[in-house]
Amino acid sequence: MLNGSLSKESWYLIHIDGLVQGVGFRPFIYRLATEMQLSGMVGNRNDGVFIKIRGSENDLRNFENRIRKESPPAACIHSISIHKSEPELLDDFRIIESKNTSEEITGVSPDIAVCADCLEDMERQIHRKDYPFINCTNCGPRFSIIKELPYDRHFTSMEPFRMCKSCNSEYTDVADRRFHAQPIACNVCGPVYRMISGKEVLYSLDDILNELSEGITSGKVYALKGTGGFHLMCDAWNQAAVLRIREIKKRDAKPFAIMASGISEIKENAEVDENEERLLQSWQRPIVLLKSKGRLAGAVSNGLNKVGVMLPYMPFHYLMFKKLKTQHLVLTSGNITDEPILIGNEEASSVFGNSVDGIIDYNREIYNRADDSVCIVVNEKPMILRRSRAFTPQPVFLNLQVEGIFAAGAELVNSFCIGKAKQAIMSQYIGDLKNLETLSFYEETYSRFEKLFRFKPRLVAMDMHPDYLSSRFASDLSEKHHIPLVKIQHHHAHIASVMASHQLDTEVIGVSFDGTGMGDDGKIRGAEFLAADLVDFERLLHFEEIPLPGGDRASIECWRMAVSYLYRVFGEELFALDLPLFRSIEENKVSGIVQLIEKRINSPMVSSAGRLFDAVSSIIGLVHYNSFQAEAAMRLEASINPFEKRRYDFDLSGESISFTPTIKQIVADCQQGIGQDDIAAKFHNTIVEVVVDSCMNLAKERANKIIVLSGGTFQNHFLSAAVEKRLSAAGLKVYLPKSVPVNDQGIALGQLAVAAKRHSSGLI
Ligand code: ZN
Ligand code: ZN
Ligand code: FE
């Protein structure tokens, strides 16, 4: 009887929700159903993919299992629902062409690293022998080449290339791996590379690779066109070449990313655990920050103990490593410091033409620029620090209706976010909105998103800081469309961003630590403990306020903050202290700052975790000037002696958290000649304790066990890992963001969520 019902055939309607369009999902379902001899159909719908099949309950169960297990690498199944359905008059299985135009909205997939099958085809298929643009339905460029929807070849920058006969027959054969692979191409019909060095131009791939290999070995520097923009490239073992790239980028001091030929080559220079290995090999191929063994040229990581590494992700990268003698290349974004990554061939040749030894580009346009994404593993979970290539425009699935909401983001490491139904689509990493170039990248990207996702704004969200260029863009947009504008406090947005990424919609205790964000009273804040939900927040606790002498200049000149803390603790006696700081900064400069503070000239009161890290870093003589954002904090973290478990005292008894005892003990340690590594460790242990103690107290007081950690300071691996472990062990539920950056790039998602929730609650 049971067997009878299991083998009885019926018709079923299966609905699959998630990232299932533009990633080769329908051909996969077709092949699976055909293999299992099930009849029916598959098609795209605006809310995912639907399948109708005829089969027994057993078939259905196997079918569902195999969908979950074998779906294409870039697909991400959110849910599968199954219902009985009306019978269809079908004896075979077919792919139904989609007619609904709005359905393509979810059809824009991120760029996908070349797959293993294609790498094999690159050796096997005659028309694709060593073809550097090989791709299939599972891999290849997507977001970077799309101009318009639907995602069809003629709306991508593949449009000028006419498919040859073989490509066309693969493209139209539903059983082929390249069925409807829009960027399909081969040696006969597709794009080609070229190399320009001086007056010489090479077109033969062999010549290019030979020349490149010799050049890299002899220390030359090249610009190489990638998926989402140009890279600058050289041998990562060659100090002089690496320093040359720093000059070309106009003295960029940030650590450079490395591309290594394989995992074992990465391990030669860095420690890699299994979670990091999985992340490195994922189809997104992000840059992963790893603990460096310090073997490559010193100028790569510039004295930091972490190195950002990625594996090859374009066919050309693989071909290149076959020829190269070195297995480690610097592969850093091809831009001038603080400007967007370059994408145009002519642009690259005018900016880099005179400074590099050669430019390797190709004749397909990059339409949407995207830097490499950056991740780190914290307590065995990936955390994303820069969300761009291979993540954009993958939506963040929400529990909220966000249609028509535009969230402008903040200022530094900016990204904006648009709402479509219950999905948030974040823009790629735009950068620091401080110059015309990044602003025009922002504006251009907004108009592309508007068109691509058929986005009609009906509500605009922005930061409270009126001078951010993103805020100005937001208010202009709201005026232009006559739609409401809502201002969302920076730290509330930080917390809401993490909540939205986990679909949390309840009251939480939020810890938001960063450099600076404007409070609703116009004060600058960056060390906040909040009780927050998606509608509103209450400020529970914060770091003691301290003068920020010289305003914004103090975020670059850390020593100003050091003087500010020392003056708070020691008053005029600070001049008598024997500190490393005073060996680098002249006394008259120090007294100048003391004057500013005393006379309260341009010295707003701030409460900021970032500035406290700056101050400590400078007091102990590590960094006095930030040559890139968060340098002082990064070097302080890099100095930690992991065996030092002690900490300093702090004061939780007042209305705010005071570090007067901490600073006193740090000064005492300095005067006793205690090493920077021990002080750095004790200071970090202190901050961990401050967060843990405060959260435990607040959790008890508010009878709330949910803790959310957010803000750029939590990019500090030591801090995030230790706080999460300690609070979880104490029985609290701790959240760091999932799939969005913890820094200001994540702000837009938080703004979007708060605006949506306020709107649905009738508050807007
Ligand atoms: Zn492939
Ligand atoms: Zn072809
Ligand atoms: Fe922030």
Q: What is the 3-state secondary structure (H, E, C) of 637-681?
A: HHHCCCCCCCCCCCECCCCCEECHHHHHHHHHHHHCCCCHHHHHH
Instruction: Report how far ligand 1's centroid is from the alpha carbon of 206 (Å).
Output: 22
* Nearest one of 679, 682, 677 to 645, comparing CA atoms: 682
Instruction: Report how far ligand 3's centroid is from the alpha carbon of 645 (Å).
Output: 29
Q: In the predicted model, is pLDDT for residue 263 greater than 80? A: yes
Instruction: Report how far ligand 2's centroid is from the alpha carbon of 129 (Å).
Output: 12
Let me know if 555 is exposed, middle or buried by CB neighbors in 10 A (0-12, 13-18, 19+).
buried
Instruction: Report how far ligand 1's centroid is from the alpha carbon of 136 (Å).
Output: 4
Q: In the predicted model, is pLDDT for residue 156 greater than 70? A: yes
Instruction: Report how far ligand 1's centroid is from the alpha carbon of 141 (Å).
Output: 10
Instruction: Report how far ligand 2's centroid is from the alpha carbon of 167 (Å).
Output: 4
Q: Which ligand is nearest to the CA of 494?
A: 3
Joined together, the tokens standing for residue 76 give 């991400």
Instruction: Report how far ligand 1's centroid is from the alpha carbon of 312 (Å).
Output: 14
Task: Say which residue, 201 or 150, is predicted with more confidence.
Answer: 201
Q: Which ligand is nearest to the CA of 630?
A: 3
What Cα–Cα distance (Å) separates residue 738 from each residue in 189, 387, 469, 500, 749? Answer: 41, 12, 27, 9, 12
Find the distance separating the first CA and the last CA of the chain, reported in whole Å: 59
Q: Which ligand is nearest to the CA of 115?
A: 1
The predicted pLDDT at position 100 comes to: 55
Instruction: Report how far ligand 3's centroid is from the alpha carbon of 677 (Å).
Output: 27
Percent of the residues in the chain that have a pLDDT greater than 70, as a whole number? 98
**pLDDT band with cut points at 50, 70 and 90 for residue 517:** confident
Q: Which ligand is nearest to the CA of 489?
A: 3
The predicted pLDDT at position 458 comes to: 97
Q: What is the pLDDT of residues 90-122, one digit of tens each?
A: 889 998 876 554 544 556 889 999 999 999 999
Q: Which ligand is nearest to the CA of 527?
A: 3
Instruction: Report how far ligand 3's centroid is from the alpha carbon of 524 (Å).
Output: 11
Q: Which ligand is nearest to the CA of 170?
A: 2
Q: What is the pLDDT of residues 579-614, one digit of tens each?
A: 999 999 999 999 999 999 999 999 999 999 999 999
Mean pLDDT of 647-659: 96
Q: In the predicted model, is pLDDT for residue 448 greater than 60? A: yes
Q: What is the pLDDT of residues 220-234, one digit of tens each?
A: 999 999 999 999 999
Q: What is the pLDDT of residues 372-420, one digit of tens each?
A: 999 999 999 999 999 999 999 999 999 999 999 999 999 999 999 999 9
Instruction: Report how far ligand 3's centroid is from the alpha carbon of 554 (Å).
Output: 17
Q: Which ligand is nearest to the CA of 186?
A: 2
Instruction: Report how far ligand 1's centroid is from the alpha carbon of 266 (Å).
Output: 24
Q: Which ligand is nearest to the CA of 491?
A: 3
Cα–Cα distance, 681 to 677 (Å, whole number): 6
Instruction: Report how far ligand 1's centroid is from the alpha carbon of 72 (Å).
Output: 10
Angle between helices 25-35 and 57-70 (to 10 degrees): 140
Q: Which ligand is nearest to the CA of 135?
A: 1
**pLDDT band with cut points at 50, 70 and 90 for residue 148:** confident
The predicted pLDDT at position 18 comes to: 79
> Which range among 21-25, 444-448, 638-642 shows the weakest confidence by mean pLDDT?
21-25
> Does the model's pTM come out above 0.85?
yes
Q: Which ligand is nearest to the CA of 517?
A: 3
Instruction: Report how far ligand 1's centroid is from the alpha carbon of 104 (Å).
Output: 22
| R_g (Cα) of the chain, nearest Å | 27
Kindly state the greatest CA–CA separation across the chain: 95
Instruction: Report how far ligand 1's centroid is from the alpha carbon of 178 (Å).
Output: 8
Mean pLDDT of 555-568: 96
The predicted pLDDT at position 105 comes to: 53
Cα–Cα distance, 44 to 518 (Å, whole number): 44
Instruction: Report how far ligand 1's centroid is from the alpha carbon of 23 (Å).
Output: 11
Cα–Cα distance, 205 to 390 (Å, whole number): 26
Instruction: Report how far ligand 3's centroid is from the alpha carbon of 526 (Å).
Output: 7
Q: Which residues, by Cβ under 5 Å, contact ligand 3, an ion? A: 514, 517, 744
Instruction: Report how far ligand 1's centroid is from the alpha carbon of 119 (Å).
Output: 7
* Nearest one of 442, 446, 488 to 756, comparing CA atoms: 488
Instruction: Report how far ligand 3's centroid is from the alpha carbon of 516 (Å).
Output: 6
Instruction: Report how far ligand 2's centroid is from the alpha carbon of 172 (Å).
Output: 13
Q: In the predicted model, is pLDDT for residue 20 greater than 90? A: no
* Nearest one of 635, 649, 651, 757 to 253, comparing CA atoms: 635
Instruction: Report how far ligand 2's centroid is from the alpha carbon of 477 (Å).
Output: 44
Instruction: Report how far ligand 3's centroid is from the alpha carbon of 459 (Å).
Output: 22
Our CA angle for 652, 621, 690, nearest 5°, is 15
Percent of the residues in the chain that have a pLDDT greater than 90, as a whole number? 86
Instruction: Report how far ligand 1's centroid is from the alpha carbon of 71 (Å).
Output: 14
Joined together, the tokens standing for residue 139 give 């891999």
What Cα–Cα distance (Å) separates residue 427 from each residue in 406, 531, 701? Answer: 11, 29, 39
* Nearest one of 402, 528, 523, 408 to 463, comparing CA atoms: 408
Q: Which amino acid is at 303?
A: G
Instruction: Report how far ligand 1's centroid is from the alpha carbon of 13 (Å).
Output: 30
Instruction: Report how far ligand 3's centroid is from the alpha carbon of 522 (Å).
Output: 15
Q: In the predicted model, is pLDDT for residue 3 greater than 80? A: no
Mean pLDDT of 491-518: 96
Q: Which ligand is nearest to the CA of 178?
A: 1
Instruction: Report how far ligand 1's centroid is from the alpha carbon of 116 (Å).
Output: 7
Q: What is the pLDDT of residues 454-473, one digit of tens each?
A: 899 999 999 999 999 999 99
Instruction: Report how far ligand 2's centroid is from the alpha carbon of 346 (Å).
Output: 27
Instruction: Report how far ligand 3's centroid is from the alpha carbon of 512 (Å).
Output: 8
Cα–Cα distance, 189 to 165 (Å, whole number): 9
Q: Are 670 and 679 in contact (CB under 8 A)?
A: yes
Q: Which ligand is nearest to the CA of 514?
A: 3
**pLDDT band with cut points at 50, 70 and 90 for residue 6:** low
Q: Which ligand is nearest to the CA of 168?
A: 2
Instruction: Report how far ligand 3's centroid is from the alpha carbon of 525 (Å).
Output: 9
Cα–Cα distance, 56 to 62 (Å, whole number): 10
Instruction: Report how far ligand 2's centroid is from the alpha carbon of 131 (Å).
Output: 10
* Nearest one of 182, 146, 151 to 167, comparing CA atoms: 182
Q: What is the pLDDT of residues 709-722, one digit of tens each?
A: 999 999 999 999 99
Q: Which ligand is nearest to the CA of 128?
A: 2
Q: Which ligand is nearest to the CA of 164?
A: 2
The predicted pLDDT at position 731 comes to: 97
Instruction: Report how far ligand 1's centroid is from the alpha carbon of 315 (Å).
Output: 10
Q: In the predicted model, is pLDDT for residue 2 greater than 60? A: no
Q: Are 415 and 745 in contact (CB under 8 A)?
A: yes
